[in-house]
Amino acid sequence: MTDALVIVFVKNIKLGTVKTRLAKTIGDFGAFEVYSELVKITEKAIERLDIDKRIYFSNAVVDTKWQNDFKTVQNGIDLGERMLNAFNDGFAAGYKRIVLIGSDLPDINSTHIVKGLKALTNSDVVFGPAEDGGYYLVGLSQPNTSIFTNKPWSQPNLLKETLQELHKNNVTVSTLDTLNDIDTYEDLIVSDFYNSNLKLQEKIQQLND
């Protein structure tokens, strides 16, 4: 057991349930293909890290994925409660520094995760800001319930409101590089992830011809 932990929140890759905003433009099959590729990037970002990992699936554990890592299912009514429960599980198990990431980031790599964990040696909390006003990474060096309670999930003021509350409560915070996730067609077509993946472009083109 390491003193640090990486938690990954991943949606079960099921047709019609992933990247629903994107699916409105490129269809359920196209969204399925995009999310499948994004999960591969997430797998690559953590696979060589010599740090304990816990994979939290949205609905059901998939045995063929993340084969050597601890796997379970997210527990909670909303995203905040699910993240809070995952962090609490980690701290209860004895981990001292924990970062949590999602699985829809085309530009994430192991460096972001390592920097996040390193920041927690000096800060109570670390965030990886997302361009849409949320965050792609959150890390804690001690339990904190307020971050995950009564927050405007999926709204552009999420990180701003969270930071204001933490500052008011004298909680020390670090931030990482800002990244963009893929939620809409506009996000997709301007991303290097999409423009450098000819196979994905061809699949989506065929699906929408």
pLDDT tens digits, residue range 108-163?
Answer: 999 999 999 999 999 999 999 998 899 999 999 999 999 999 999 888 999 999 99
Cβ atoms 73, 137 nearer than 8 A: no
pLDDT at 208 over 80: no
Q: What CATH topology corresponds to 4-208?
A: Spore Coat Polysaccharide Biosynthesis Protein SpsA; Chain A (3.90.550)
Structure-token pair, residue 35: 């999310």
User: Is 100 strand, coil or helix?
Assistant: strand
The pLDDT > 70 percentage for the chain reads 100
pLDDT at 175 over 90: yes
Strand partners, 174: 126
**Amino acid at site 12:** N
pLDDT at 15 over 90: no
114 Cβ contact partners less than 8 Å away, ≥ 6 residues apart: 49
pLDDT at 209 over 80: no
Query: pLDDT class for 14, splitting at 50, 70, 90?
Result: confident
90 Cβ contact partners less than 8 Å away, ≥ 6 residues apart: 5, 7, 54, 98
Q: In the chain, what are the domain boundaries?
A: 4-208
Looking at every residue in the chain, the average pLDDT score rounds to 92
Query: pLDDT class for 92, splitting at 50, 70, 90?
Result: very high
Q: What is the pLDDT of residues 40-58, one digit of tens each?
A: 999 999 988 999 999 999 9
